[in-house]
Chain A
């Protein structure tokens, strides 16, 4: 008997690794997924190596060289205080990626855990947790993020808290709904009737199918996190100047757009746009390759 079950789990395990490999393969071959991966990889490299790549010190004031248009010396021009826009962007990318990954990971952990818990336990607990999520969802994203950031003081951590809070309900809802649908599936009931422990059922049967859709959401939320963090700093309730941050840099250049010094605002915006697009493409590609019904 044990020989048979042992063999059976081994086959299952092989199947699982094979399936993961298959999905990865599909993802890399997917043109959207490939492009997104390349872009994100470039950003991550910039985030790590930014300080070594930057031609100038991002905080170095040089009033003799203020508001210079893009030139071979300053490929993206200089700002109001003569700081090199390109160097500031390199530093800002590091900060923005840090905020995005940190806040979405926190939101993911809290959201997915409470979603799975909520769906598995059910009843009053489920109701209570989901009502809290409804309330978070009852505010427009940016408005709630502004309120949280204002209430917790401005800066790095308030932005991280604000962005992670607004990402929690999405993760909770998605993971809960998968748990609810698998919980009463025949294979789970069969395992239960054979005397499987709660832990076994949770980790073997409930968790794996609940994780896939949340990974897609994780990618999409990273894009959203960058936008929200930039919007907060743009409004002045996020990262405070003179720290280089992409959204805050757009604000710094805002007053110069009309007078013709467009580069201060436009370049940081392009860098926000490209990474947000990449994360959204990544989410779309993941959805395509993991959705079995779309495979032909």
Chain B
């Protein structure tokens, strides 16, 4: 255990430069964006003196490193700046919309992780058979097809033609009253307030976006699990066990699977952290009112503080998810602790 706590501390320290780097990049990118934030905040009909005062207040006339310091100091107070268009703090919007995207991400992982792992194991156990080739072609398609295009095809098939999916217009049918906000997650909130109609309706709405987002995850994960499972199955200790007549079921489920799933942890973490990219695209196709749609709308309205707020949050989330995965990996596999 002593070993593990050392690993934990080292990994935590290594988090610092990465987080700092994410902050520097977001700061620099928001700095490069054309337009004077002071001018945008108070509007064009203003005299030079007033503009100077506001520029001074915002620290825009200070050297870059001082501005970065101000940026950090504001971040500590969860101040991500003010939305040019909506007028209220970016952090308020993010707080409001994060649960909406989070719910979509959770639904995606609930579908994607088990299916990806099962499909990978299935393909490995039947390697070089017809079933394996079909899985491989499927995973090639899942990795290659643009997610926003698949979603359009799904809408076309399941909504326009078959009429089994709801209109791609958000989390709930417009005729229903949404449940009061408790967690901000529609499905959970409606369940907590005992509103079964809303619960079923929101589940119905989340299926299509979650399934289409999970395709890429299933594809990537099944590839990784397949190859690591094949790797393990060819190891001497497994082959020996096979040779001496060890029961196949126990061998696969208890001995091979555990080792084969290790690399899947890292890949699953990268996929989960990177989900925000797919979420941006998915939310704009399904009018899903989360962080992604917020960013896309902000882009259209040239509301840059909002865009950069979302970029920062996604970067930090990605770093945190990978950190948790590394710790988990170190906890499960004693060999990689240092």
Contacts and interface: CB of A to CB of B under 8 A. Distances in A.
Interface of A: 131-132, 134-136, 138-144, 146-148, 150-153, 223, 227, 230-231, 234-237, 247, 250, 254, 257-258, 260, 262, 265-266, 269, 272-273, 276-277, 280-281, 284
Interface stretch (B46-54, B83-91, B149-157): B149-157
Nearest to A277: B144
The 7 tightest CB contacts between A and B, nearest first, are A135-B21, A142-B277, A269-B149, A140-B277, A276-B144, A140-B274, A277-B144
Contacts of B66: none
B311 A272 contact: no
Interface stretch (B30-38, B93-101, B175-183, B206-214): B30-38
B30 A151 contact: yes
Interface stretch (B194-202, B246-254, B259-267, B312-320): B312-320
A135 B308 CA distance: 16
A260 B296 contact: no
Nearest to A152: B32
B295 interface: yes
Contacts of A277: 140-141, 144-145
Nearest to A223: B144
Interface string B266-288: 00000001111110110011000
Given A138-B22, A140-B277, A235-B296, 8 more contacts: A131-B18, A144-B25, A150-B33, A231-B281, A237-B299, A257-B155, A257-B160, A280-B140
B34 A153 contact: yes
Interface string B294-316: 01100110001001101100110
B146 interface: yes
Counting chain A CB atoms within 10 Å of each CB, the highest count among B280, B295, B311 belongs to: B311
B153 A269 contact: yes
A234 B275 CA distance: 17
B159 interface: yes
Chain A interface secondary structure, helix, strand, loop or mixed? helix
A144 B277 CA distance: 9
Contact of A142 (B149, B159, B280): B280
Contact of A235 (B17, B299, B315, B319): B299
Contacts of A262: 156, 160
A273 B144 contact: yes
A276 B152 contact: no
A280 B143 contact: yes
Contact of A150 (B143, B278, B284, B304): B304
A138 B152 contact: no
B146 A272 contact: yes
Counting chain B CB atoms within 10 Å of each CB, the highest count among A131, A143, A262, A272 belongs to: A143
Contact of B160 (A135, A142, A247, A260): A260
B135 interface: no
B10 to A, nearest CB: 15
A273 B145 contact: yes
Nearest to B315: A139
Contact of A143 (B17, B32, B314): B314
B275 A140 contact: yes
A285 to B, nearest CB: 12
A95 B97 CA distance: 36
B26 A147 contact: yes
A111 to B, nearest CB: 17
30 contacts: A131-B18, A135-B21, A135-B24, A135-B25, A139-B314, A139-B315, A140-B273, A140-B314, A140-B315, A140-B318, A141-B277, A142-B281, A143-B310, A146-B295, A146-B311, A147-B29, A151-B30, A151-B33, A153-B34, A227-B146, A235-B296, A235-B299, A258-B159, A260-B160, A262-B160, A269-B146, A272-B149, A273-B146, A277-B141, A277-B145
B257 interface: no
B167 interface: yes
B148 interface: yes
Contact of B146 (A144, A236, A254, A276): A276
A254 B275 CA distance: 22
Contacts of A148: 29
Given A236-B296, A273-B146, A131 B21 contact: yes
A150 B155 contact: no
A276 B146 CA distance: 9
Counting chain B CB atoms within 10 Å of each CB, the highest count among A131, A140, A231, A247 belongs to: A140
Interface string B57-90: 0000000000000000000000000000000000
A139 B231 CA distance: 30
A262 B159 CA distance: 13
A131 B17 contact: yes
A234 B148 contact: yes
A230 B140 contact: no
A235 B284 contact: yes
Contact of B148 (A134, A250, A258, A284): A250
Nearest to B17: A131
